[in-house]
Amino acid sequence: MTTERILIASDHAGFELKEKLEHALEDLGFDVQDLGTNTADSTDYADYAHPLAQKVSTGEVERGVLLCGTGLGMSYTANRYPRVRAAVAWNPDIAKLARQHNDSNVLVLPARFLSEEQGVEILKAWLETPFEGGRHARRVDKIEIPDSNP
Ligand code: RB5
């Protein structure tokens, strides 16, 4: 069985939780690629969302995790990329639904509003939940702007 690669990145507001989730992902057996930031010094979320979203958009890597203070800046940036479905999830139920109904391929966490324990629970729920397909596949197919992705 090949090890799944997963990407993770944050700005300064998500840095501390990112480091913890990185270890959780490694413990779960993932090949984690950390795209920064690597310190708690102030930085700009888009600089970290773009490289991660690009790799998911092209299919180079299937899934990724982004963290910033609210999750919003990271999600705005990542969702500009075709085929990226970046879901802000603040509890495990939202994370599960983001997978079941929306086939989310990027999990975005509002780090300033979560404990480590909550972050790990949300992450696990998102990783473990499959997409339901069916009527949800039809809806997900309609997300992309028509004729925007040749
Ligand atoms: C940084 O202060 C904060 O604005 C950022 O982490 C994020 O919450 C933006 O959406």
| Centroid of chain to Cα 62 | 10
Q: How confident is the model at residue 147 (pLDDT cuts 50, 70, 90)?
A: confident
Q: To test ligand 1's pocket by mutation, which of 74, 90, 113 has the most ligand atoms within 8 angstroms of CB?
A: 74
Q: Which of 97, 92, 88 is nearest to 69 (CA)?
A: 88
Q: List the beta bridge partners of residue 86.
A: 106
Report the C-alpha gap between 125 and 111 in whole angstroms: 16
Q: Report the pocket of ligand 1 as residue ranges, CB < 6 Å.
A: 11, 13, 45, 68-70, 72-73
Rg of the Cα trace of the chain? Answer: 14
pLDDT tens digits, residue range 4-19? 999 999 999 999 999 9
CATH topology of domain 5-141: Ribose 5-phosphate Isomerase B; Chain: A, (3.40.1400)
Q: Please identify which of the residues 12, 23, 68, 136 carries the catalytic annotation.
A: 68
What does residue 147 show for φ and ψ, rounded to 5 degrees? 65, 15
Q: Read off the pLDDT of residues 41-95 as tens digits, 9 standing for 90 and up.
A: 999 999 999 999 999 999 999 999 999 999 999 999 999 999 999 999 999 999 9
Query: pTM, whole model, 2 decimals?
Result: 0.96
User: Does residue 23 have an active-site annotation?
Assistant: no
101 in catalytic set: yes
| 149 against 40, higher pLDDT | 40
CA–centroid distance, residue 39 to ligand 1 (Å) = 15
